[in-house]
Amino acid sequence: MLTRKLSPLQMAIMAAALAVVLFPVFWILMTSIKPPTDWNASPAIWVPTKPTLVNFKTLFDPDALREYGVGGVSQSATKAVLGSLLASLVATALSVAIGLLAAIGISRYGNGSKATPLIILSGRMFPPAAIAVPFVIIFSSIGLTDSYVGLIAIYVAATLPFSTWMLKSFVDDLPREIEEAAMIDGLSRLRAHLTVTIPLIRGGLFATTMFIFILNWSEFMFALVLAYSNISTIPVQLAKYVTATAGTLYGVQAALAVLAMVPLVIVGYLIQSHLARGMTFGAIKQ
């Protein structure tokens, strides 16, 4: 992909940046295969001498750690993984779909007023912690706490400003005359947007979907306050690996974190070409 030769200085800077970014990933990967005795070892053990999969096993079999004398892990992570997948996938799909409609409406038809995009963004100006409690109060009175419907509703509401704004910028960058020419060719407004606009902002659409998925996948605050027993997500589950006897189960946490990375890495790999194009789309004046 990169055809330009880098100078030694550039290489060094690049290597330093990579080291900073990748070190935590490396540490988590290593911790996830460390036995409990190595988790908190001092001096730190960088690469475990006796790697084990027991941490991963513990995720789905809470008693697996007993062979190391660690008990009190109460719950399997299966529900959290499925819950995260469900909530993130559905919320992302809804957020991007609604955001796309809003983006086209604002960009092409000036729907609402000039302030509409700002008003939409204003929802993001409160820290999630500030609105989490009111949400819980409202949701408990309408029976949406501890349910995926409630969680997804919050996720859509929380990410909609981002999907709207990102998609609006991609639609803005696409010359509207391309759609207009299609309408003159004989397409209705709706069909022109479906068959002309959307394919042409495909890169942006993928990039937005990816971004919203990451937001939902890693969300913690809302899930924490909404999840009692029926629902769970990976970030909430991560916080539960603290036992009275053995303290924080770093290895198990790391194992779950590694699992949580998998879908992102796969999706990221699959769409990297679209992602790159999506990111540079705005830079090109057509």
Partner 1 sequence: MQGTPQETTQPVLILDGLRKSFRGKTALTGVSFAVPRASLTVILGCAGAGKTTTLRLIAGLDQPDAGRVVIGGRDVSGWEPKDRDIAMILDNLALYPNRTGYANIASPLLIRGEPPEEIERKVTEMATMLKVAHTLQRLPKTMSGGERQRIALGRALIRTPSLFLLDEPLSSLDAMLRIELRAELKRLQREQGHSFLLATPDFTEAMAVADTVVMLRQGRVVQIARPQDLYDDPVDREAATFVGAPQINLAAASHVPGEGGGQILFAATRIAVPPHLRDGVASGPRDFELGIRPENLALADPGGAQIRARLADIEPLGLKSVLTVRNEAAELRVLVESAETHALTLNQAVGLNLTNTPKLLAFDPSSGQRLRP
Residue ranges in contact with partner 1 by CB under 8 A: 175, 177-178, 180-189, 196, 199-200, 286
Residue 69 or 176 with smaller CB distance to partner 1:
176
Taking residue 234's Cβ as centre, other Cβ atoms within 10 Å add up to 24
Residue 174 or 225 with smaller CB distance to partner 1:
174
Residue 66 or 189 with smaller CB distance to partner 1:
189
Residue 201 or 238 with smaller CB distance to partner 1:
201
Helices 78-109 and 202-217 pack at an angle, to 10 degrees, of 140
Q: How far is the CB of 209 from partner 1 (least distance, A)?
A: 19
Strands (E) in 97-232, as ranges, are none
Residue 146 or 173 with smaller CB distance to partner 1:
173
Q: How far is the CB of 177 from partner 1 (least distance, A)?
A: 4
Tokens linked to 63: 């008693």
Computed from CA positions of residues 174, 178, 182, 184, in that sequence, does the dihedral angle turn out positive or negative? positive
- Residues linked to residue 242 through DSSP beta bridges, in sequence order: 248
Residue 167 or 196 with smaller CB distance to partner 1:
196
Distances (CA, A) of 82 to 88, 190, 214, 238: 10, 36, 16, 14
Tokens linked to 71: 């008990």
| Cβ contact 69:54 at 8 Å | no
CA–CA separation, 137 and 131 (whole Å): 10
Q: Would strands 242-243 and 247-248 be described as parallel, antiparallel, or unpaired?
A: antiparallel
